[in-house]
Amino acid sequence: MFNRIRPGIELLYWMHAGWEGYGRYHATGKFAWGTREEAEDLLAKLKKVDLEPWAISVHSLHPPPNDDFNVAKKLGLASRAVSFNYGAIEGEPTFPMTNFGSDTVFLAGRAAAPLGVVGNAQTHCLQLPNTFCFARGNKGQLVAEPDYVKFGEDLIPGQGRLIVDAWKTVVGEDPIAMRAVADQLNGVASKKLSPGPFKGLLFGSPQRFLNDLVLQLRFNAAMLECAGASTKRVDAAKFRAFVAAAEAWQTTHGYQTVWRLPRLQGVFEKLNSPVINKLMAETDANSVTTQAPGATPFERVQNLNRLWDDHAPRVLRALKDAARNL
């Protein structure tokens, strides 16, 4: 079929949890990794049919229990392996937010298989610092703050220092600093900006890139302030401010799927909202037997996926309803 679409197309088998592992998930509603024996069986079959050209995607950093890369070596297939250290740059599905400062990203880029290494991100422009770090790891080049500043300068000349300050602050715990950096970014974004040599990474829009950082900083600041002010009872003003910041960010990026908010779990418990409690329960992929309808585990898995299709907008609507009723 693939060769009819394009002769010579490459088959790349992503080992990860394993074919049988995902089959059991759909059969039982409970996720479990595939076994080493299953990985060996499937690779032996691929080797036998030899659907050239073909390759395999393995983990070489924190490998799953099936130990896929060593299985490939055992069967003489290491030369067909590309390393896909899943989730190192950004997990999925995750609510869009810039990640910064994890050593795991550098190590994941460095842990290449014979055919190289790839990384995954669902929000390309938000994950530029981790993508940069991943690439440096693959090249064996250490990355320190001056390197990030230089990278920021190549994105938007004259703004490298501010961009890195924003990346560092957005993953921090200081809402006052977040608002201060957001105000600085907002002032810069209002000016005429010329992108640098890496403008393709911004899809040509430095203003949108900076505005995204502003909205993230204000979202995180409002969330931290709401959680901090609601230890005994929900602070209505802080909760409404958080909902407004959440709406500003969510409606900008348009993310639809599962939205987990562990930082506000204590606040949600104090709200005692059956709707919000149910929405938070839907975020557990292993809860299909109780959270999704269906006559069989397969139907419940499919229906949970459908619940995730518009989870974020439903959460936002429930948060707005709760804010109005405080």
The DSSP bridge partners found for residue 118 are: 84
**pLDDT value at 286 more than 80:** no
Q: How much is the pTM?
A: 0.93
- Taking the C-alpha atoms of residue 183 and residue 161, their distance in angstroms, rounded to an integer, is 15
**pLDDT value at 288 more than 80:** no
Residues 6+ apart with CB under 8 A from 159: 152, 153, 188, 193, 206, 210
- Taking the C-alpha atoms of residue 13 and residue 221, their distance in angstroms, rounded to an integer, is 42
* pLDDT tens digits, one per residue of 203-212: 989 999 999 9
Percent of the chain with pLDDT over 70: 99
How buried is residue 317: exposed, middle or buried, by Cβ count under 10 Å (0-12/13-18/19+)? Answer: middle
* pLDDT tens digits, one per residue of 189-239: 999 999 999 999 999 899 999 999 999 999 999 999 999 999 999 999 999
